[in-house]
């Protein structure tokens, strides 16, 4: 690069060294990943002209790949954060606009905190303690095989199970909604009694238009009887093109028709805007160091959860060690605190021992503000099929949690929140399978009592893994969890004949106990697009 004298700098231009005007040369491709210094250096080259500066910068972005990265980052922000609200709205309004829901979430949280505190005092175990050096070394040595440890977890109990949470949701009431205490035509037939707006089937058909009968789907049109030339080959080719373009929005649109197995890991990373930079790997290593240094009470809860759920699952037990690594690091990750801006929940607070009430000694517990419940590890387990590098697996799980999974265990009015999903499920069943709904109610088998656990876990552990991944493709593609409620209703519709014959809740549970043989896409398609209404 020839040195440029500043003698010809136009007046008023400081900080940018421009000199002779030369025709703009097209630069050789500047590899992406350059920092702003390189941008500065590039703009000091003699080829840059003042009048085309704006265009040159835009061109630089395009050539270097930064334009795409910026677009993906903006798209990611738009997908995650709620739209800007009224300037007078306080922060809690952004978390949850309805006051009674905020209060209900607050009460629920208080119950959880009390439960954790009493576990602490009963077992005389501190919430957190610094590990002695010897213990740190030991843990570091067996970091990759924590599953072989068999600590005595008999005294620990999960802080709550999904069915405890369901009871809270059933008791949610809008104080301004009068529908009487006694059963009348105005009380809801189902368990959820709050009047949230949910989509009906015509609206769902419009929302999920790509799942229609005339559109090719992975999970249907790639079955062995269908010649791959009809759909699968072309779909794979388009998928490869989408990956080559590195366009998040295009990937999200594409994945509505399902992802080819070979492309899924990359596609999910693209949609979630995750790229493993060196600083991400460093960050994960830092989290690992935090785990080594401090022992938390929630660690025991995580151990217990993994042992009770994933370790007992035929598909997931092989990933046991990965699950400990990811979940223990997750608990230490303070960047997760950011999602509480749009989550109705709030992180639990504590004080350094002896400094109760002094704000400069206030901390969050656990550091990421998320207390795991029974089944939490099942959010991570399916991802282990896609990602084998721990820091990448970690990043993907964290992003999935702050985009989607948190909504499944907090009380909010959001359309993808668990309350809306429950109401959507019940409404779909009542509207389109009224006889079945009535029958199940009569025998004391409220359908939501059976389907709730499926939705809270996003069907993880209930469906076969290939089917689960096809379902999660659509969660990403539509940026919504509503498909969980639709699938739950579709499952009931599929087994309606058997369910009409049962006469007890236990028998109904038995009919719906095993979902491992179900094919999700045909069920969804039939329920939405092929059921006579």
Partner 1 sequence: MSRVSVPCHVKGTVALQVGDVRTSQGRPGVLVIDVTFPSVAPFELQEIMFKNYYTAFLSIRVRQHTSMHTPAKWVTCLRDYCLMPDPHSEEGAQEYVSLFKHQSPSMTFPKWLSHPVPCEQPVPLLEGLPDPSRVSSEVQQMWALTEMIRASHTSTRIGRFDVDGCYDLNLLSYT
- Footprint of partner 1 on 146-205 (CB under 8 A): 174, 176, 194-197
Q: How far apart are the C-alpha atoms of 517 and 526, rounded to whole Å? A: 17
- 103 token code pair: 């209060």
Q: Would you count residue 359 as binding partner 1 (CB under 8 A)?
A: no
- Rounding to the nearest 10 degrees, give the CA dihedral for residues 397, 401, 403, 409: 160
Q: Would you count residue 103 as binding partner 1 (CB under 8 A)?
A: no
- 316 token code pair: 């997931």
Place of tokens 């709550």: 160
Q: Would you count residue 365 as binding partner 1 (CB under 8 A)?
A: yes
3-class DSSP string for 215-234: CCCCCCCCCCCCCHHHCHHH
Instruction: List the x/- string, 6-45, binding to partner 1 by CB under 8 A.
Output: ----xxxxxxx------------------xx--xx-----
Find, among 251, 256, 266, 271, the residue nearest to 219 by Cα.
Answer: 256
Least gap, CB of 234 to partner 1 (angstroms): 40
Find, among 514, 492, 483, the residue nearest to 440 by Cα.
Answer: 492
H or E element: which one contains 300?
helix 297-308
Least gap, CB of 290 to partner 1 (angstroms): 8
- Footprint of partner 1 on 445-484 (CB under 8 A): none
Q: Which of 34, 69, 93, 449 binds partner 1 (CB under 8 A)?
A: 93
∠ Cα 435 437 439 (to 5°): 70
Give the Cβ contact number of residue 93 at 10 Å: 14
Q: Which of 48, 116, 421, 485 binds partner 1 (CB under 8 A)?
A: 116
Site for partner 1 (CB under 8 A): how many residues? 65
Q: Would you count residue 288 as binding partner 1 (CB under 8 A)?
A: no
Place of tokens 């689960």: 468
Sign of CA dihedral 476, 478, 484, 487: negative
Least gap, CB of 402 to partner 1 (angstroms): 15
Least gap, CB of 21 to partner 1 (angstroms): 11
- Footprint of partner 1 on 225-244 (CB under 8 A): none
SS3 at position 363: strand
Least gap, CB of 518 to partner 1 (angstroms): 31
Q: Would you count residue 88 as binding partner 1 (CB under 8 A)?
A: yes
Instruction: List the x/- string, 265-284, binding to partner 1 by CB under 8 A.
Output: --------------x---x-
Q: Would you count residue 261 as binding partner 1 (CB under 8 A)?
A: no
Q: Would you count residue 364 as binding partner 1 (CB under 8 A)?
A: yes
Q: How far apart are the C-alpha atoms of 156 and 107, rounded to whole Å? A: 23
- Please provide the size of the chain in residues: 533
Chain residues in the site for partner 1 (CB under 8 A): 10-16, 35-36, 39-40, 50-51, 53, 85-86, 88-89, 93, 97-99, 110, 113-114, 116-117, 120-121, 126-130, 174, 176, 194-197, 279, 283, 286, 290, 294, 332, 334-335, 337, 348-354, 356, 360-365, 367, 413
């Amino acid at each position: 690069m020839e040195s440029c004298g500043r003698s010809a700098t136009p007046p008023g231009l400081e900080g940018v060294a421009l000199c002779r005007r030369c025709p703009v040369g097209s630069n050789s491709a500047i590899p992406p990943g350059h920092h702003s210094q390189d941008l500065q250096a590039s703009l000091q080259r003699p080829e840059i002209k003042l009048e085309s500066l704006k265009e040159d910068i835009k061109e630089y972005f395009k050539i270097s790949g930064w334009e795409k990265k910026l677009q993906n980052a903006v798209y990611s922000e738009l997908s995650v954060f709620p739209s800007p609200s009224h300037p007078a709205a306080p922060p809690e309004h952004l978390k949850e606009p309805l006051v009674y829901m905020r209060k209900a979430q607050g009460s629920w949280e208080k119950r959880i905190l009390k439960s954790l505190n009493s576990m602490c005092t009963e077992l005389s175990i501190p919430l957190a303690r610094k590990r002695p050096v010897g213990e740190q070394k030991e843990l570091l040595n067996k970091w990759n095989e924590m599953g072989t440890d068999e600590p005595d977890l008999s005294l620990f109990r999960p802080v709550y199970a999904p069915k405890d949470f369901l009871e809270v949701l059933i008791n949610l009431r809008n104080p301004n909604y009068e529908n009487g205490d006694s059963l009348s035509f105005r009380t809801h037939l189902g368990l959820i009694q709050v009047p949230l707006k949910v989509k009906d089937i015509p609206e769902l058909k419009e929302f999920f238009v790509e799942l229609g009968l005339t559109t090719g789907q992975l999970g249907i049109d790639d079955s062995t009887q269908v010649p791959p030339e009809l759909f699968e080959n072309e779909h794979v080719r388009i998928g490869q093109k989408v990956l080559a373009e590195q366009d998040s929005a295009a990937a999200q649109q594409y994945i509505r028709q399902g992802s080819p197995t070979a492309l899924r890991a990359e596609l999910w990373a693209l949609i979630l805007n995750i790229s493993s930079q060196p600083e991400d790997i460093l960050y994960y290593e830092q989290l690992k160091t935090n785990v080594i240094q401090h022992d938390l009470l929630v660690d025991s809860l995580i151990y217990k959860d993994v042992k009770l759920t994933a370790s007992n699952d035929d598909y997931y037990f092989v990933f046991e060690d990965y699950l400990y690594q990811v979940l223990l690091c997750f608990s230490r990750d303070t960047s997760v605190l950011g999602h509480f801006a749009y989550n109705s929940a709030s992180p639990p607070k504590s004080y350094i021992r002896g400094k109760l009430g002094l704000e400069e000694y206030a901390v969050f517990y656990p550091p990421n503000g998320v207390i795991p419940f029974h089944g939490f590890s099942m959010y991570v387990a399916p991802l282990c099929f896609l990602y084998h590098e721990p820091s990448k697996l970690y990043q993907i799980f964290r992003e999935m949690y702050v985009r989607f999974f948190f909504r499944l265990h907090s009380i909010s009015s959001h359309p993808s929140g668990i309350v809306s999903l429950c109401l959507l499920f019940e409404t779909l069943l009542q509207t389109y399978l009224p006889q079945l709904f009535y029958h199940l109610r009569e025998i004391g088998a409220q359908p939501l009592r059976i389907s709730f656990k499926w939705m809270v876990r996003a069907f993880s552990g209930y469906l076969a893994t290939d089917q689960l991944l096809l379902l999660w493709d659509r969660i990403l593609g539509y940026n919504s969890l509503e498909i969980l409620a639709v699938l739950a209703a579709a499952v009931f519709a599929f087994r309606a004949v058997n369910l009409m014959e049962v006469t007890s809740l236990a028998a109904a549970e038995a009919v719906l106990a095993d979902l491992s043989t179900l094919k999700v896409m045909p069920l969804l398609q039939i329920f939405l697009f092929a059921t006579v209404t």
